[in-house]
Every structure is written in C-alpha cells, then in structure tokens.
Structure 1
Amino acid sequence: MIIDAHQHFWMYEAEKHAWIDDEMSSIRRNFLPSDLKPLYEKNGVTGCIAVQADQTLKENDFLLEQARKHDFIKGIIGWIDLRSNELENDLDNYAQYPIIKGYRHVVQAESDPLFLLRNEFLRGISELQKRDLVYEILVFPHQLPSVLEFVKHFPDITFVLDHMAKPYIKEGFFEAWALLMREIGRIENVNCKVSGLITEADYQTWTEQEILPYLGLVLEAFGPKRILYGSDWPVCLIAGEYKEVLALAKNFADKLSANEQRDFFYHNAQRVYNLIN
C-alpha cells in the first residue's frame, strides 16, 4: 500500500496561482481528483494527503469539498493565518472536520529570514501544539538556520519538513544543506517528506544519480521511521511523469528492508497524520 503524502488540487486562476511562472506554464490549468485518481489506480497508490496551494481559508473549504467527493483523499493540510487574532475561532471552526490534519504557511515566499521566530507566529504554532495538529514546514535551504531554532521551541508538536527543504540540486549545492538537515534530523518530532525533488533539479536533464546523494542524506538524518513518500503532483509534471517520481522513490527504497519500505510508503504517513484507514 502507498500513501502519497504530498499533492495538490486547484482551479487555476492567474492571480491566485501567480507562483506558477513561465517555466511552469504547462501546469497553468485545473487539476482535480478526477485527474489524479487514474494515476493512482495505475500505480497502486492507496490514498493521499491534499496540501494547500493557496493561502486563504477558502482553500480549506475547497479541499474539504474534494475530500467529501473522493474517499482516496485521506487527509488535508490546510492554511490558516497563524498570526491572526481570530486564530482560535478559525481553528474551532475547522475542528469539526477531523480530515484536516494540520496546516502550513508558505514560508519560502517570506522575505523576513526570521519569519518563523517572530512572536506572533510562535504563538500560532503553540495553539496548533495544544490541539495536536501537524505543522508542515515549507522553506528553502537558506532558511534552515531559522528552522533549526524554530523546531526546538515545540517538542510536543508533529512537524513535517516539506520537500526535504528544497535542496539546490540543479546548482549542485550540498554540504551546507546537509549539515543543517543532519542537525534538524536530531529533533525527534520532525519528519521529512521525500518529495518535490525532480523540480529542484534541471527540469529537462535531471538524473536519478544526481538526486540519490540527497535522498541518502535524508535517510541518514531522519531514519526510516521519519521519512514519507510524496509526489508533489501536479507540480512534478513540469519535470516528469507520476510514474517517474514513484520509480525514483522505489529505487531509493530498495536499500531499505521490507518493513522499512512499508513504513516509508504507508505506515509513517498513517502515524504522522493519524489516518484511520
């Protein structure tokens, strides 16, 4: 069984999805569960975690609507303004939907290098911790020093680091990213998604061989119990097909035992997101 721990749905709007630049123009269209389900059936994927792609409360409602219609959506990572005075009320409202497993903020787009460490943001994470909700960390490698300080504040929340912090594979930068990932991996409540990698390499010329050292480092840093498979569909389509993303993950997992492979592809996601089935 396979849980895809990271994918997105959207009804494309140029202003809302302005992050889809000209190099990514092939995904400037709608992507809905009806597009994804056949890929899952073809590739033996059991279900998924749908992750926010827009920073509005309406995004949560949109994802909830998709989940009501499609039972292969096993969980949702939504968005909520963690700095808002209305945070508790908003969280109370969404608490009626247990399929919402947690939230994330697009920190990679924030210019403030200390964004994660600002008091109002820390207060918001404290509220998630009280409610046993997951927080997903979306950053670039240059933001990892703040991540290291940030996660130490919250030993009792489940963190998930998205896309292995988006290493600069295309540029070949490794050592500084690896050093910080090892340190973050020592924090036992931080998990890491093995996802979004082919789009951090050259879209046209990426190879498995150039990506494997980054995968090996994450396995070393987090261990087989705290890594999760994710496709980053449909963003991955700008650099390859779904089957290529899954093949990359399976080739990486070949070095794991049978039990560790089941953890990577299924049980770790089941634990992190408290999935019932």
Structure 2
Amino acid sequence: MIIDSHQHFWKYNPVKHSWINEQMSVIRRDFLPSDLKPVYVKNGVDGCVAVQADQTLAETDFLLEHAHNNAFVKGVVGWVDLRSADVDKDLEKYAKDKHLKGYRHIVQEEADHNFMLRPDFLRGISKLEQYGAVYDILIFPHQLGATLELVKKFPNQKFVIDHIAKPYIKDGFYDGWATMMKEVAKHENVFCKISGMITEADFKSWTPEQIHPYMLLALEAFGPERCMYGSDWPVCLVAGTYTQVMELTTNFISSLSTTEQAAIMGLNAVEFYGLE
C-alpha cells in the first residue's frame, strides 16, 4: 500500500496564496481531488493525507469536506489556533471527525525563532494528546533548536518533521542541519517526512545525487520505521513531475528490505496518523 503522507488542495487566491511567487507561477491555479486522483492512478498511490496550507478554520473545514467526499483522502492535518484560550472548543469539535488526524502551524513563517516555545503555544500543544491528535512541524533549519526543546517537553505527543526540515540544498548547506536533525531524531516520538526536497534544491537543475546525502541522513537518524514518503503535491510541480518525486524516494530506498520499503512508502503513515 502506498500512502502519500503530504499533499495540499486549494482554490487559488492571489492574496491568500501570496507565498506562491513568480518563480512558482505554474501552481497559481486551483488544485482539487479531481486533479490529484488521475495522478495517483498513474503512479499506483492508494491514498493520502491532506495538509493545511492556510491558517484558518475554514481551511480545516475545506480539507475535511474533500476527505468526506473522496475515499482516497484518508486523513487531514488541519489548523486551529493553538495559542487561543478557547483552543479546547475547536479541538473537541474536530475530534468528532474521524478524518481529522492532526494539526500544523506554518512556523517557518514566524519571525520569532522560539515561536514554538512561547507559553500560549506550548499550552495548545499540551492539549493534543488527549484528543488523539498528532502535530506536523513545519520549520526551517534555524528552528531545529526550538524543535528539539519542544519534542523533549512532550515525550508522549506524536510529532513529525515536514520536508526533512527544509535544508538549504540549493546552497549546499548541510552540517548544522545534520547535527540538529540527529539530536531531534533521538526522541522516538518524532517521525520524519521524506518530502519537499526538490523545491529546496535548484528548481531547474537539481539531481537525485545532490539530494541523496540529505535523504541518507534522515533515513539513518530516524530509521526506516520513522520515515514516511510524501510528495508535497502540487508544490512539487514547480521543480518536477509527481513521478520524478516518487521515484526520487523509491529509487533511493530500493536497497532496503521489502518490509522497510513498505513501511516508508505507506505503513508508517498509516500507523502515525491512524489511517483506516
């Protein structure tokens, strides 16, 4: 079973999606389940986890609606304001929907390096376990220090690092990122998505060989039992095709046992997110 642990849907809005810059103009349009389903059929993908790209409750509802109407959308990582004094109300409401698996905040856009360690945010994170919700960590490498402190504070909370923490592959920066990823990986409540890598490299000239050292570090640090495949569709289309993204991972892990390959390509996502 192949599960894509990370993809997005949106109805394109120039204001809401202002992060889609000129270089990324190919994705300045709507991307909906009807666009993704044929891609999955072609590539033999059985299902996916839809992840928020906008920080509103309307976004969470939008993704859940698609999950209710499309059997291949197995789970949703939505957004609630974890800093809100009323966060329990939202968490309780969404916990009633079996498709809602966890939450994410776009921490990479926060200017405060220690955003995740602020008392109001920590209070929100502390609530997730009781609702059976996981948390996706979206950061840049300079935020790995705060990430380490966060995951230490909540040893029973399930976390996953999105896009191997977005290392600066294009610039060849590796050592600082690698050191911190190894430290975070020592905490067994943390998983890692092998995703979002070709868009951290040069859009036009990336090669698998350029990305392999970063994949190897993630695989060695977290082990095959805590890594999961993700495409980051449709963002990945800026730098390649869905097939190229999938083959980047399948070719890289081809020397692993069939059990380990099956774990990375789907079973770990099923376990982590509690997918049916």
TM-score, reference length from structure 1: 0.99
Give me the whole-angstrom Cα distance separating, in 1, the residues matched to 2:235 and 2:82: 26
Give the gaps of 5 or more residues in structure 2. none
Which residue of the partner structure matches residue 53 of structure 1? 53
Give me the whole-angstrom Cα distance separating, in 2, the residues matched to 1:159 and 1:92: 20
Structure 1 residue matching 2:11: 3-state secondary structure: coil
Which residue of the partner structure matches residue 211 of structure 1? 211
Which residue of the partner structure matches residue 165 of structure 2? 165
Cα deviation code 1:44-99 (max 9, x no counterpart): 00000000010000001101111121100000000000000110111111111011
Task: State the shift of 1:272 in Å.
Answer: 0.1
Give me the whole-angstrom Cα distance separating, in 2, the residues matched to 1:90 and 1:149: 26
Are the counterparts in 2 of residues 77 and 100 from structure 1 also a CA contact under 8 Å? yes
Give the gaps of 5 or more residues in structure 1. none
Cα deviation code 1:175-201 (max 9, x no counterpart): 100000001010000000000000000
Cα deviation code 1:109-140 (max 9, x no counterpart): 00001101000000000001222210000000
Structure 1 residue matching 2:172: 3-state secondary structure: coil
Which residue of the partner structure matches residue 71 of structure 2? 71
Are the counterparts in 2 of residues 160 and 192 from structure 1 also a CA contact under 8 Å? yes
Cα deviation code 1:122-161 (max 9, x no counterpart): 0000001222210000000011111111110000111010
Which residue of the partner structure matches residue 201 of structure 2? 201
Give me the whole-angstrom Cα distance separating, in 2, the residues matched to 1:113 and 1:68: 36
Are the counterparts in 2 of residues 49 and 75 from structure 1 also a CA contact under 8 Å? yes
Which residue of the partner structure matches residue 86 of structure 2? 86
Output the aligned Cα RMSD: 0.6
Structure 2 residue matching 1:246: 3-state secondary structure: helix
Question: AA paired with 1:263?
Answer: A
Cα deviation code 1:11-45 (max 9, x no counterpart): 00011111111111110100000000001000000
Give me the whole-angstrom Cα distance separating, in 2, the residues matched to 1:178 and 1:104: 23
Aligned counterparts, 1:112-261, within 5 A: 112-261=112-261
Give me the whole-angstrom Cα distance separating, in 1, the residues matched to 2:88 and 2:98: 16
Query: Where does structure 1 differ by over 6 angstroms across 4 or more consecutive aligned residues?
Result: none
Give me the whole-angstrom Cα distance separating, in 1, the residues matched to 2:186 and 2:96: 34
Question: AA paired with 2:145?
Answer: P
Which residue of the partner structure matches residue 107 of structure 1? 107
Structure 2 residue matching 1:37: 3-state secondary structure: helix
Give me the whole-angstrom Cα distance separating, in 2, the residues matched to 1:28 and 1:80: 25
Are the counterparts in 1 of residues 167 and 177 from structure 2 also a CA contact under 8 Å? yes
Which residue of the partner structure matches residue 11 of structure 1? 11
Task: State the shift of 1:212 in Å.
Answer: 0.3
Give me the whole-angstrom Cα distance separating, in 2, the residues matched to 1:132 and 1:14: 35
Sequence identity (%)? 58
Task: State the shift of 1:255 in Å.
Answer: 2.1
Task: State the shift of 1:213 in Å.
Answer: 0.4
TM-score, reference length from structure 2: 0.99
Give me the whole-angstrom Cα distance separating, in 1, the residues matched to 2:144 and 2:69: 37
Are the counterparts in 2 of residues 33 and 70 from structure 1 also a CA contact under 8 Å? yes
Aligned counterparts, 1:19-58, within 5 A: 19-58=19-58
Structure 2 residue matching 1:225: 3-state secondary structure: helix
Are the counterparts in 2 of residues 50 and 75 from structure 1 also a CA contact under 8 Å? yes
